[in-house]
Amino acid sequence: MQRAIALAARGLGTTSPNPVVGAVVLDAAGEVVGEGFHAYAGGPHAEVERSPKPAPVPWWDCVVTLEPCNHTGRTGPCVQALLAAGVARVVVAVRDPNPTAAGGVAALTEAGVEVETGLLAEAAERVNEAC
């Protein structure tokens, strides 16, 4: 999560009115196979910026600073992109306070993905205080 927070900070000043978000994708051995950050408003979200190719069976872990979105705005829902990539577990620092974008944790859980929340939540919230 520390790496995801550092990546999120790279979007400071360019994502408004959206928050900054960082994501790291790990393989079954815990090795980084993809990472990204939300670089600008209207651009790819962190979870899909540099995601790996879909796995034949679910086994990716995604560590993300903010709950993956579950709606279509200027981009598609990150939840669907994570499911299409074969994610097995998502670790979320902070749930999305925006009611329009929230719901990713519930959607992932309903799809059978293991979800953990709260890891380094205070640090992830602090990176967005500057937005």
All structural domains of the chain with their residue ranges: 2-129
According to CATH, the topology of domain 2-129 is Cytidine Deaminase; domain 2 (3.40.140)
Cβ 54 vs Cβ 84: under 8 Å: yes
| Terminal C-alpha separation, the chain | 20
Computed over every residue of the chain, the mean pLDDT equals 89
Q: What is the pLDDT of residues 14-63, one digit of tens each?
A: 998 889 999 998 888 888 888 899 999 988 888 876 555 555 556 789 99
Among the listed residues 35, 47, 49, 67, the single catalytic one is 47
Please state whether the predicted TM-score (pTM) of the whole model is above 0.75.
Answer: yes
- Tokens 């990204």 belong to 36
The answer to whether residue 47 is catalytic is yes
Cβ 116 vs Cβ 87: under 8 Å: no
